[in-house]
Homo-oligomer: A and B are copies of this chain.
Amino acid sequence: MNPSNHETCDAALAELPGWHVIDGRNAIGKVFRFADFSAAFAFMARVALLAEKMDHHPEWTNVYNRVDVVLTTHAAGGVTEKDLTMAHAMERYVG
């Protein structure tokens, strides 16, 4: 996020357990861990549907039961409402 909206972002992240600002990037991220690959991929399928619907796609890495998600809005050069909406949706999916 831009220096000017750091405060807003901190407030937003406070409601998103496990999410943090990625070092050296205007982006937020979280590492999700699941019971196994099957559960991880089902989560990814659900996020994929949302991403396509929002036309807003995560950067993500999967290794077996682990999914590392990074969210940023390239067009805005930082974290926007879109990223926060997606992060909250991911929390609902694993909730």
Contacts and interface: CB of A to CB of B under 8 A. Distances in A.
Contact of A49 (B43, B52, B60): B52
Majority secondary structure of chain A interface residues (helix, strand, loop or mixed): helix
A29 to B, nearest CB: 13
A68 to B, nearest CB: 8
A51 B77 CA distance: 29
Interface residues of A, number: 25
A21 to B, nearest CB: 19
B52 A63 contact: no
Given A42-B42, A46-B42, A49-B48, A60 B62 contact: yes
A49 B41 contact: yes
